[in-house]
Amino acid sequence: MRRFLGGLAVFLGSLSCAQADTGERQQVDQLADALEPRLIAWRRDIHQHPELGNREFRTAALVAEHLKRLSLDVKTGVGRTGVVALLRGGRPGPVVALRADMDALPVTEQSGLPFASKARANWMGEDVGVAHVCGHDGHTAILMGVAEVLATMRAQLPGTVKFIFQPAEEGPPPGEDGGAALMIRDGVLRDPVPSAIFGLHLNSRTPLGKAGVRAGPLMASGDTFRIVVKGSQTHSALPWLGVDPVVLASQVVLGIQTIQSRQVNVLQEPSVVTIATLHGGNRPNIIPEAVEMSGMIRALDEGMRRDIQRRVATTADAIARSAGGSAEVSISPNYDVLINDARLAELGTRSLHATMGSGQVFENPKVTVSEDFSAYQKIIPGFFYFLGVVPDGTPPEKVFPNHSPRFWIDERVLKIGVRSLANITLDYLHEADGKLSAGLQPASAR
C-alpha cells in the first residue's frame, strides 16, 4: 500500500501539469458550499430525532421526501424502512451505488449540544435513551447532499446513480431481520445492477479534513456468540453436592482468552474475542443451575474467523465437561470482513487526493470494529473510507470515540463528505466512460 501511495503521488504530480478539465469539480465545490447550511440543518434534525434499527420511520420519510423533490425514482420500505432512489444521467453509462446508514443506538446522549437527543425507546425490554453517537446522522445528511449535487448535474452524468439509505446497520432488534443483508434480499442490488458501490464513515480517530483509505481488508468481521454453562444447582454451603457453573463459567472466560494469546497466529491478521456479558444466579446462598455469557469474535481474515469460532466452541465445551457440566454454544455471524476492491481503492484514493489536497489522504490502519457495508462487497466491488470529525488542536479529553455518549462531530465534515463522495462517483463514471483524467486536478492547483 505504501508503494501504491508513493506511486500515486508521482501520478498526481504529473497530472497537475496536464490541461485537465476542472469544471465539474469546481461545480461540485460550488454546489456543496451552497448546500452547507441545509446539510447542517438536516443533520441536526436527524440527530435530535434518532430512531433505532428497523424503526427509522421519521428519518426515512425525511429522506424520501427530499429525493422525490429532486425528481428521482424513489422506492420506500426496502429492508423494512430503507429508501432507494435512482438518478438516471443524461448519457448512457454504468450504474454506481452509494450507501448511507440511518439508525441510531440505544445510548443516552451526554454531549451537551443544544440539539442533543432526548428520545427514548424500548430496547430488549428496557426503557433506554436513543442517540446518534456513531455518525449515521451525518452519513444520511451527506448522501442527501450528494443526491442534490448530482441531480443538479444529471444532464452531464454518463450513467445511473443508485442511492441506498439503509436501516439497522448497528443490527436489528432481537428476533428481526434487518440491515444490509435484508436490503440485499429485498433486491437493492438488482434492477438495475450496480457495477460498484461506495460508502464512507465519520471517525473520531481521524482528524478533520483528512481521509483514511486502505485496499484489501479494512474492517473486521463481527460474530456474536452466546454460551450457556450448565451445572447442577445446590446449596452454596454444600458445593460438592452439585456442579458449580459459576466457577466453570469463570474458567471458560479465562480459557477463551488463551485463544488470542496462545492459539492464533497474531502475525497473520488482527483479531479480538471479547466476552461482554455474564449472568447467573439470584441469591448468595444458592449455586445456580446455569450461567450465561455473550460476546463477539472479530477477525480480518475469513479463515481465521472460522478457526476462532471453532476454538471458542471447543474450549467452552471441554472446560465445562472437565468438571461434570456442559456448555451450549451458539454463534451468529453478523458482519463479514470489509474488503476494499483494489481497483476501486486506487480510484477512490486518487479522487480523494484531488478533492482534499496533498497530504490529506493517508493509509488507514486495519480496524477491529465491523460494518455491514461488507455485505454489499461480497456481491459487487466496493470502496469504503473514513473521514475525520475532530479538528486539530482539540484537547484529548474532548475527543470521544464513536459509540460514546459524548461523541460529537465538527459539522464542517458534512461539506467535505459531499464533495468527496460526489467526486468519487463522478470520477468512477468518467473512468468507465473513457475519461480517466476528467476533474482530477489536485485542490492545491485550483
Average pLDDT, the chain: 93
At residue 109, what is the residue type? E
Domain boundary pick from 288, 313, 335: 335
* Same domain for 350 and 283: no
Looking at the fold, whether 331 and 383 belong to one and the same domain comes out as: no
pLDDT of 10 strictly over 60: no
402 vs 258: CA distance, rounded Å: 28
Domain containing 241: what range?
Answer: 222-335
Q: What is the pLDDT of residue 189?
A: 98
As a whole number of angstroms, the distance between CA 153 and CA 61 comes to 24
Mean pLDDT of all residues in 436-441: 43
- The one-letter amino acid code at 153 reads M
Residue 185 has pLDDT above 50, yes or no: yes
Residue 443 has a pLDDT of 42
State the pLDDT at residue 43: 98
Quick one: 162 and 16 in the same domain? Answer: yes
Q: CB neighbours (10 Å) of residue 57?
A: 12
Average pLDDT over residues 279-288: 97
Average the pLDDT over 360-366 and give the result: 97
Respond yes or no on whether the N-terminal peptide bond of residue 239 is cis (omega within 30° of 0). no
The answer to whether residues 426 and 418 touch, using CB atoms and an 8 Å cutoff, is: no
Name the active-site residue from 36, 289, 292, 411.
Answer: 411
Task: State whether 231 and 304 are in the same domain.
Answer: yes
Quick one: pLDDT band at residue 22, thresholds 50, 70, 90? confident
Which DSSP string do the residues of 4-43 spell out, in sequence order?
HHHHHHHHHHHHHTS----HHHHHHHHHHHHHHHHHHHHH
Q: Average pLDDT in the 247-261 region?
A: 97
- What proportion of the chain, given as a percentage, has pLDDT over 70? 93
The residue out of 289, 309, 335 marking a domain boundary is 335
Residue 428 annotated among the catalytic residues of the structure: no
Cell of 308: 476462532
Same-domain status, 286 and 314: yes
pLDDT digits (tens, 9 = 90+) for 335-356: 999 999 999 999 999 999 999 9
Q: Grid coordinates 432512489 are at which residue?
A: 85
Residues 62-108 pLDDT 10s: 999 999 999 999 999 999 999 999 999 999 999 999 999 999 999 99
Amino acid 13: pLDDT: 39
Tens digit of each residue's pLDDT (9 = 90 or more) over 205-223: 999 999 999 999 999 999 9
- Domain of 84, CATH number, reads 3.40.630.10
159 & 241 share domain: no
pLDDT at residue number 19: 27
What is the count of structural domains for the chain? 2
Over residues 372-398, the pLDDT tens digits come to 999 999 999 999 999 999 999 999 999
Residue 358 confidence class, pLDDT cut points 50, 70, 90: confident
- Looking at the chain, the whole-number percentage of residues with pLDDT higher than 90 is 91
The answer to whether residues 198 and 150 touch, using CB atoms and an 8 Å cutoff, is no
DSSP-derived 3-state class of residue 268: coil
pLDDT of residue 432: 84
The pLDDT tens digits for 389-425 are: 999 999 999 999 999 999 999 999 999 999 999 999 9
Residue 60 pLDDT exceeds 60: yes
335 part of the active site: yes
Pair 106, 60 in one domain:
yes
At 288, which CATH number? 3.30.70.360
- 227 and 177 part of one domain: no
pTM of the entire structure? 0.90
| Residues forming a β-bridge with 107 | none
Q: Is the pLDDT of residue 4 over 60?
A: no
335, 376, 385, 428: the active-site residue: 335
123 and 226 assigned to the same domain: no
pLDDT band at 21; cut points 50, 70, 90: low
**What per-residue confidence (pLDDT) applies to 234?**
98
Indicate if 305 and 164 belong to the same structural domain.
no
Band the pLDDT of 433: cuts 50, 70, 90: confident
The answer on 352 and 380 residing in a single domain is: yes
Residue ending a domain, among 272, 305, 335, is 335
249 and 290 housed in the same domain:
yes
